[in-house]
Amino acid sequence: MLIDSHTHLRHTYSPEELSAFLSNPPDDLGYLVEISTNNDEILTSAALRGVPWLLHAAGLYPENAALFGTKMRGEFLSLIERFPPHAIGEVGLDYHWDYAGAPEQEKLFRFNIETAIARNIPLLIHSRDAFDDTFRILKDYALKIPVVFHCFGYGPDEAEKLIPEGYYLSFAGNITYSKAEPLRAAARLVPHDRLLLETDAPYLSPIPNRGKKNCPEYVGITYRYVSELLGLDFDSLSAQIERNFRKVFGI
């Protein structure tokens, strides 16, 4: 069984393609986690509920930070009460794009963290060019919920700080890119019971599909690559990832 622990199905497929995918998923795919990054996406994802192998995560992504306030907060809390997610995410900090200043992003990030704590569900982290602040903020909380750094985008130095905290690191197709040696060095450090794999579809298609739209069907390419990178049998890696995923999401 292969698992795509982070994907954006509604960004990847047209409505017709998505219907066909959900009706006839690839035989080797097990669970997928569909990500909603704002209130509108939570509403549209409601139509995908009822598929037993499709889990849902919902969070207010950093691009919401500039407009975050009482109204957005209230709508979000109401929506996740109506449509309970399996995790809060993807949430965090992104200093690569000019979404908002660091204080605004931090305020939103803390709200997301505290929502995950209150609901006792996993927290899926997005962190880009913002490691120090991401780590500092997380350390302010005595987190007893699973924390996943989705699409891990740093190197071994950062991985060495996260591993003692018990966090999970998830790698996407960009680990296959020629200039991704820091990702590969980080992946070699991660305890096997703290490792996850994902597509982040429709982004970051693995080699040889780089430049094309990514999709959950490509997650097996990343599995094969990582199994060779870590010197693990493909089936053994798949079984370990499944165990890790079930532990994170309590299934």
Q: What is the pLDDT of residue 35?
A: 98
User: Mean pLDDT, to the nearest integer, of 212-236?
Assistant: 97
User: Mean pLDDT, to the nearest integer, of 241-248?
Assistant: 98
Which residue from 15, 16, 48, 14 is spatially nearest to 32, judged by alpha carbons? Answer: 48
What digits encode the pLDDT tens for the residues 164-207? 999 999 999 999 999 999 999 999 999 999 999 999 999 999 99
Q: What is the pLDDT of residue 239?
A: 98
What digits encode the pLDDT tens for the residues 6-56? 999 999 999 999 999 999 999 999 999 999 999 999 999 998 998 999 999
Residue 220 has phi, psi (to 5 degrees) of -60, -30
Q: What is the pLDDT of residue 98?
A: 87
**Total of domains in the chain:** 1
Q: What is the pLDDT of residue 177?
A: 98
Q: What is the pLDDT of residue 127?
A: 98
What digits encode the pLDDT tens for the residues 85-98? 999 999 999 999 98
CA distance 124 to 14: 25
Who has greater pLDDT, 98 or 151?
151
Any idea what the CATH number is for the domain that residue 208 is in?
3.20.20.140
Which residue from 71, 4, 7 is spatially nearest to 39, judged by alpha carbons? Answer: 71
Q: What pTM was estimated for this model as a whole?
A: 0.96
Please say whether the beta carbons of 108 and 64 come within 8 A: yes
Q: Which domain holds residue 107?
A: 2-249
CA distance 188 to 152: 13
Per-chain mean pLDDT for the chain: 97
SS3 for the chain is CEEEEEECHHHHCCHHHHHHHHHCCCCCEEEEEEEECCHHHHHHHHHHCCCCCEEEEECCCHHHHHHCCHHHHHHHHHHHHHCCCCEEEEEEEECCCCCCCHHHHHHHHHHHHHHHHHHCCCEEEEEECCHHHHHHHHHCCCCCCCEEECCCCCCHHHHHHHHHHCCEEEECHHHHCCCCHHHHHHHHHCCHHHEEECCCCCCCCCCCCCCCCCCHHHHHHHHHHHHHHHCCCHHHHHHHHHHHHHHHHCC
User: Mean pLDDT, to the nearest integer, of 229-250?
Assistant: 98
What digits encode the pLDDT tens for the residues 98-145? 899 999 999 999 999 999 999 999 999 999 999 999 999 999 999 999
